[in-house]
A and B are shown apart, each in its own frame.
Chain A
Amino acid sequence: MRNLFGILARIIFFGVVAIIGLSMTLLFADWLYRTGLTPAKWTLIGVYFILTIGLALGFTQFFVGFLISFFRFDPLKITKRCSLKDAEDPKKINDRIALLFPIYNEDPMRVFNGIEVVYQALKEAGQMNHFTFFVLSDSTDSNQWIEEEKVWLERVIKLEAQGRLIYRHRSPNINQKSGNISDFCRRWGAHFDHMICFDADSLMSAECILKLVQLIENNPEIGIIQTMPGLIGGQTLFARLQQFVNRIHGEITGAGLNFWQQNNGNYWGHNAIIRLEPFTKHCTLPELPGPKPLGGRVMSHDFVDAALMKKAGYEVWLAYDLPGTYEELPPTFLDFAQRDRRWCQGNLQHAWIAFLGKIPFINRVHMLNGIYAYISGPLWLVFLSISTLAAYSWEFSNLTPIIRVPLLPYSPQSLAEHGLVIFGLTITMILLPKLLTICRLFTNTKFRRAFGNPFNASLSIIIEIFIFTLFAPTMMLFHSAFVFSILTGGKVGWAAQNRSSHTHTSWHAAALAHTGQTVVGILWAVLAWKINPMLFSWMIPVLAGWIFSIPISVFTSHVEPAEWLRRHGLLLTPEEINPPDIIRSLEIIEEEVQVKPQPIKVLRNDYGLIQALLDPYTNALHLEFLPRRENQSVESKERLSDLSQKLLKEGAPGLTGPEKQRLLNDHYTVHSLHRHLWSISEQELPDWWQIAINRFSRESLFVTELGPGSEIGYAVE
């Protein structure tokens, strides 16, 4: 019965998508036909078809999700298979579960704070016996690496988590995150039945984890259950906007997504539980043909993992209604765009598998949808370019149009009205979902209460529509540049990046990233005005986004406007109005943890290395993690010896990052350098080491210099 309903649901869903997409395209084609079809217009029809199918899919998905949320009836959701009450029974869990935290140059404090919160929650739930925490570090920055080891030990002692909280550093970090996970599977996989993957900034409550375990334990046909993480911790205006959008529209989107994907869901790389045995057996990532960046190793492994799991006969589900699962988000637009650059490459790589792989149909749809998310940018750009050029070409031709009668019976007779209908329908598909959410706010009591005041929440939706309308054209140009660059094997990049909510995007960084877009905006505005002021006025939302991209990027990276909105009850999420225990615990821990000040400038890049080599206990701890290599080649020993000499003669700034990593990865070198540095006469050491030893001995490594005198006589930079 469930299967029949599932098949019917898919037929209805994709039928509606096809009907909307085709009828919109036909209406558009009919409109173009009325003034004569040219090759350019045929191109427009083709582009419009692809874009409309994507829009129709998103719209239908949201509409279905809204209906499910409105009527609170979803026989297709995975959480229906077992009630939450059962999960509270400790006897129900039998399996062994590994909680994985793959990290790469992340802030160790934030990572371990999150781990501590999850650990405590599971301990309080009385379920710790079934869980083991693994911090799988791929960090290449020596400061982060050493800090991770120290914080690991500190937390193991604090939590009395010997044997339950395990740290492993990997060098070299072959195949990035997927290599990190597969390394875990090879080394420890056999000890566990399932693994729950976390991101460095994700968080899951004990209830959520236990429910996931129970679901997968009681349903042996399930391979992966993905949760829908809510965004938390946004401070800047950009982050808070995203966070609000995720929380207010997220559940409806999830319900809609689950309606058509059902047991053929996707894996998003974190906040998901995976059955280890089939994962190890069937989810080996393929090497893609052709040269990089599209060929080679799969960058976005998660979609491929899900496809391979499903292909192996296991179900993959999205538990969209499971609360207590969270993640954080990039603080600024530039950080977001940089992350998108990476994801863009990963998704475009999927083209190989989506078009030529022998995978289930729905997984193909997932991959095509992922590709569409990035291809739609350049397609919209092509659409706008051809439309503007067509207008330009027509405006200066001095010809009088001969308007034909429409081919379709339901098309309006007037050409202008015909155009307005197409525009209106397109805008409806974009904006109606927002109206549906407002409708839900006023009709669903639980939902309304979660967001506090429904009027404030509605106003917040209008604010997010306005700001994201300005962001969209800039993102379109970013995506176009990313796609073009990836297809031509090049790289897109810009200089400075902000990582923390406390440091906003500088005008310089914004100018570096957005100058091209501003220039495009100004030139396009001049052209549009020259063609026809009416065209200019229609294009204002797009042009404004480009022309003001620099100030918008800087403004939204600030915390102050977000704070102002928060004070006025705007952009508030349920987690801020009524914080769940897990988030409250994280906040308490973050307040308790003493934040160390930044080390002095001259030692800032190498304070990890200094501690590993000078502090005997940090040195011993670090040595504990290093394998003893008995059979090193003569070349390798010579190379390490040369690097050691270089380190002693020039100080750490004389070495590159990989050189430092190589030294810190060798047991013998780390041990002998510790002895040597303390035994060598001070006069034989360079200024840098003298400052380092001096600062270390006075325990003032982490004291910011008070004036220029603190660095007299030494200039590393």
Chain B
Amino acid sequence: MESLIENRPKSGETDLAFRRLDAILRAYGIKHAVVRSIHCQRLLEKSIEDGRQDSDLQSIASKLLFAELDHGIEMIDRAIEIEPDERNRNRLLVAINRARIADNNPEALLGLKELNTEEARLLAFIYRAQYVPELKRRSMGAPALRFEGINGVTTGTTQIFARSRILLKLSRVLGIVCLFLIIYLFAR
């Protein structure tokens, strides 16, 4: 605590770092403010002890927290006993959110405590139930872009309308000519 109070209070950096840690923990779903506060304080003290005087406290504290989160997620990953080839950090995070681990057992998310059996079973169930779309191509053969249906059209008409670009550009002029023609027809 002492280190917290003594650390550059005028710059307000401790407050900023505390706020940042609190925001990250909240983003990860730890809703209880007191719990967040306890962990923020702990992490902040550790950051100050670890950090140098000239380094950015917010950055050090955030990195420390992310290291703990990574460790926690790794521990959870091991606890739910997933086959190595099925392991997927992102899918696990989505499952953690659905199982409300951050709210019910925040210490497990931070790697400070093991998941209890019930939580591990629930999480494993959710994890396995999550369907990940198979994006690999399994097809009866992607059709090539051929002019199967109207073969004759494209070959024939490309030749016939080879000058269509010019015709299209001239169409405005043609429109005006037509207009004058109509006026002429009625004026004569």
Q: Do A and B come from one complex?
A: yes
**Is A287 in contact with B154, judged by CB distance below 8 angstroms?**
yes
In the complex, chain B residues whose CB is within 8 Å of the CB of A289 = 153-154, 157-158, 161, 164
A102 to chain B, nearest CB (A): 15
**Is A678 in contact with B94, judged by CB distance below 8 angstroms?**
no
Query: B146 in the interface, Cβ–Cβ < 8 Å?
Result: yes
Given contacts A484-B175, A680-B59, contact A617 B164 (CB under 8 A): no
Number of A-B contacts (CB under 8 A): 182
In the complex, chain A residues whose CB is within 8 Å of the CB of B96 = 617
Greatest chain A CB density within 10 A among B96, B154, B187 is at: B154
Interface size on A, residues (CB 8 A): 75
In the complex, chain B residues whose CB is within 8 Å of the CB of A191 = 138
Q: Which of A190, A284, A624, A693 contacts B138 (CB 8 A)?
A: A190
Q: Which of A157, A163, A356, A393 contacts B156 (CB 8 A)?
A: A356
In the complex, chain A residues whose CB is within 8 Å of the CB of B187 = 393
**Is A187 in contact with B66, judged by CB distance below 8 angstroms?**
no
In the complex, chain B residues whose CB is within 8 Å of the CB of A617 = 29, 93-94, 96-97
User: 1/0 contact trace for A270-293 toward B, CB 8 Å?
Assistant: 000000010011111011111100
Find the A residue at minimum CB distance from B58. A681
User: 1/0 contact trace for B124-145 toward A, CB 8 Å?
Assistant: 0000011111111111101111
In the complex, chain A residues whose CB is within 8 Å of the CB of B29 = 617
Kindly state the separation between the CA atoms of A35 and B20 in the bound complex, as whole angstroms: 89
In the complex, chain A residues whose CB is within 8 Å of the CB of B168 = 290-291, 294, 487-489
**Is A187 in contact with B135, judged by CB distance below 8 angstroms?**
yes
**Is B164 in contact with A682, judged by CB distance below 8 angstroms?**
no
In the complex, chain A residues whose CB is within 8 Å of the CB of B147 = 286-287
**Is B150 in contact with A353, judged by CB distance below 8 angstroms?**
yes
Find the A residue at minimum CB distance from B133. A166
**Is A156 in contact with B59, judged by CB distance below 8 angstroms?**
no
**Is B90 in contact with A682, judged by CB distance below 8 angstroms?**
no
Find the B residue at minimum CB distance from A622. B90
Query: B10 in the interface, Cβ–Cβ < 8 Å?
Result: no
Q: Which of A157, A286, A488, A679 contacts B153 (CB 8 A)?
A: A286
**Is A627 in contact with B135, judged by CB distance below 8 angstroms?**
yes
Kindly state the separation between the CA atoms of A26 and B156 in the bound complex, as whole angstroms: 36
**Is B140 in contact with A190, judged by CB distance below 8 angstroms?**
yes
Kindly state the separation between the CA atoms of A357 and B143 in the bound complex, as whole angstroms: 20
Query: A615 in the interface, Cβ–Cβ < 8 Å?
Result: yes
Find the B residue at minimum CB distance from A310. B149
**Is B164 in contact with A291, judged by CB distance below 8 angstroms?**
yes
Given contacts A287-B147, A616-B28, A679-B59, contact A167 B153 (CB under 8 A): no
**Is A614 in contact with B27, judged by CB distance below 8 angstroms?**
yes
B150 to chain A, nearest CB (A): 4
On B, residues with C-beta under 8 Å from A are: 16, 19-20, 22-24, 26-29, 56, 58-59, 62-63, 66, 88-91, 93-94, 96-98, 129-140, 142-154, 156-158, 161, 164-165, 168-169, 171-172, 175, 182-183, 185-187
The 6 closest A-B pairs by CB, nearest first: A620-B93, A697-B23, A308-B149, A620-B90, A357-B150, A162-B131
On A, residues with C-beta under 8 Å from B are: 38-40, 43, 153, 156-157, 162-163, 166-168, 182, 185-191, 277, 280-284, 286-291, 294-295, 304, 307-308, 311-312, 352-353, 356-359, 385-386, 389-390, 392-393, 484, 487-489, 614-617, 620-621, 623-625, 627, 675, 678-682, 693, 696-697, 699
A-B contact pairs, 11 of them (CB 8 A): A39-B185, A166-B133, A191-B138, A284-B145, A286-B147, A288-B154, A312-B149, A359-B150, A393-B186, A617-B97, A620-B93
